[in-house]
Chains A and B, each alone.
Chain A
Amino acid sequence: QTLIENKDEL
């Protein structure tokens, strides 16, 4: 899952 709530990268 790479949706917005899982995005930790900048």
Chain B
Amino acid sequence: MNIFRLTGDLSHLLAILILLWKIWKTRSCSGISGRSQILFATVYTARYLDLFTNFVSVYNSVMKIIFIAAAFATLYLIYVKFKATYDRNHDTFRIEFLLAPCALLALILNHEFTILEVLWTFSIYLESVAILPQLFLVSKTGEAETITSHYLFALGSYRALYLLNWIYRYYFEGFFDLIAIVAGIVQTVLYCDFFYLYITRVIKGRALKLPA
């Protein structure tokens, strides 16, 4: 555990909590892509099945359980409790176009052809693109609430911090996992455009509106 990994995890946790808090506090999930949240719930479920087979540490298990529970709680808020506020007309990204290629790629490019390992690989690939429905929704409406942009910033920063963690681990531990690194780079690159808008607008106290 190094500082990049820890801040990455905390940033990830913060993102998830910001989203839950935003929906709960405003009693509304408008501007939030339910489809991205379905993908994230799929990611955590596929990746953390090793909770049942392999114990790493209390920290590891607790975080996994929080991520899974928060993902399903978010889905419940969007699709059940605050269903009336869900932006379904704008949330139209076809997630099967992400799910199918990730599943296929996981079957072909993995560390080992076992069920858990293929599911882990699938979750890594899927996570890298899971934000696309959300970014699509923001681009379609042309704006995002400030709290939603904080959520996106924290969520995007998490994988960027993991990239620094992997550079650190490569130099100091000789560790590297090519699948995670390549997917992590893809994931971070997808946020770059958003990071630029966040820094140039939201930090300066303006709303995140996309340039026309």
Contact = CB atoms under 8 A, between A and B. Distances in A.
- Where chain A touches its partner, the secondary structure class is loop
Given A3-B111, A4-B50, A4-B54, A9 B117 contact: no
Nearest to A4: B116
Interface residues of A, number: 8
B56 A7 contact: yes
Contact of A4 (B9, B60, B120, B162): B120
Contacts of B177: 2
Given A4-B50, A4-B117, A9 B12 contact: no
Contacts of A7: 50, 54, 56, 120
B22 to A, nearest CB: 22
B115 to A, nearest CB: 10
B60 A8 contact: yes
Contacts of A5: 54
Contact of A2 (B12, B57, B67, B111): B111
A9 B180 contact: yes
A8 B162 CA distance: 13
B162 A3 contact: no
Interface of A: 2-5, 7-10
11 contacts: A2-B179, A4-B50, A4-B53, A5-B54, A7-B54, A7-B56, A8-B60, A9-B162, A9-B165, A9-B180, A10-B9
Interface of B: 5, 9, 12, 50, 53-54, 56-57, 60, 63-64, 67, 111-112, 114, 116-117, 120, 162, 165, 175, 177, 179-180
